[in-house]
Amino acid sequence: MNPNAGWLRLSPPRIFVAGFAVIILIGSLLLMLPISNTTGKPLAFIDALFTAASATCVTGLVVKDTGTFFTTFGQVVIAALIQVGGLGFMTMATLIALVFKRRISLRERLILQEAMNQTSVEGIIGLIRKVLLYSLVIEGVCATIFAVRWSFDMPVGRAIYFGIWHAISMFNNAGFDLFGHFRSLTGYVYDPVVNFTAMFLIISGGIGFVVMSDLAEYRKRQRLTLHTKVVLSMTAALIVVGSLVIFVFEFTNPNTLGSLDWGGKLLGSLFQSVTPRTAGANTLDIASLRQATQFFIIILMFIGASPGSTGGGIKTTTFALLVGAVFSMLRGREDIVLFKYRLAQARIYKALTITLLGLLFVIGVTMILSATEDHHFLMILFETVSAFGTVGLSMGLTPDLTVVGKLVITLTMFAGRLGPLTLAYALGPKKGKELYRHPEGKMIIG
């Protein structure tokens, strides 16, 4: 009897879920080792599990300060989990297979298709090669910029280490940092080099590898796909609108933008608009933001990044479809048209399903945490959406979570990274094709 038969019978979504679970478990065991932290004692399993899940799911919520609690070994483990989690374990496995010139089977291509959120297996191996190349180049260039900038603030060796580590964290939209005491990038709110390099990494990792590939080939093809146009336009719109809203709401807040000059206000507003796209880094104190701003950031975190990227959330394309559906309904049109292309009904159903599942999941988790955690509602909702969108921004609740709260947030990060629809496919019964259709019924809506 073949011991691998059961594994091979698993559907691609189930293998995807199982693979991430195994990586988190391995990471947890490594972070539990005394060599991983500065106390020299084994880390509690629940804290190791939370940290490993946060890193693998590229979230950035932390119960232990990464820069002061973990040793270099522990930090390297976290960075490795971020890289594997951001690019996907199947992408890394494909890299190993390509290095050893091993043939990629159809089964493995189907799993890669699920991991990269593609509609077909055609060209999937070429896309994986591009993913690895783009990641290496972008992280390498930005790590160099970070290292040069931080060499003025710290020893060169440490600056290089910080540059590489934070380039990995930012590109994969993880939000982990090594500056200690949960400060993130608040010490660099005025620094254009750090701000724009970090924002470039966040946006590059968040728009998706398909979009990067499309942009790289634009000179040869002289056109962009509908997917790329929607992603770029929606990303730009969310960043611009987000910057304006944060600028207006926080302009007179003495704890955030109010104490900064015009340059700091503009940089601070822009960075805080970019980072909810599942990045998790911040240059302003999130807990000091006004409630209106915090609630607006919750909306941005729920939308998240784009398909096939290192980020989470319901995705920009899903939000674009919902907006398009609203406008079509208001104008009395039957079809949803974006950039002169009509969208199929199946796409609209999928967007509605993802959004509703996401909302129901967030509501359920928020209700549970409201019962287990003694904090005000907005802080709990903020933490929940941050975990679901794999963002990593926090109002300060994470270190105070109860054991139950840590488990709930861990599961939320896991579900957010995989996506509610993938998780539903993995946990649900095997799909079968319906052999008949029911008669059409009529009901009143609205």
Whether residue 4 lies inside any domain: the answer is no
CA 24 to chain centroid, in Å, comes to: 16
Q: Which domain holds residue 200?
A: 9-422
> pLDDT tens, 187-197?
999 999 999 99
Nearest by Cα to 209 from 171, 165, 170: 171
Number of structural domains (the chain) is: 1
Angstrom distance (rounded) from CA 261 to CA 386: 29
Whether residue 72 lies inside any domain: the answer is yes
CA 111 to chain centroid, in Å, comes to: 20
CA 297 to chain centroid, in Å, comes to: 15
Phi-psi group of 117: left, alpha or beta (phi > 0 → left; psi -120 to 50 → alpha; rest → beta):
left
Task: Identify the top-confidence range among 3-7, 315-319, 338-342, 406-410.
Answer: 406-410
Whether residue 434 lies inside any domain: the answer is no
Whether residue 322 lies inside any domain: the answer is yes
Q: What is the pLDDT of residue 175?
A: 85
Whether residue 327 lies inside any domain: the answer is yes
Angstrom distance (rounded) from CA 178 to CA 169: 10
> pLDDT tens, 26-52?
999 999 999 999 999 999 999 999 999
Whether residue 445 lies inside any domain: the answer is no
Whether residue 80 lies inside any domain: the answer is yes
Nearest by Cα to 319 from 332, 294, 302: 302
The pTM of the whole model exceeds 0.85: yes
Whether residue 431 lies inside any domain: the answer is no
* Percent of the chain predicted with pLDDT > 70: 83
DSSP string for 376-417? -HHHHHHHHHHHHTT----SS-GGG--HHHHHHHHHHHHHHH
> pLDDT tens, 92-135?
655 555 555 566 666 666 656 555 555 555 566 676 777 788 88
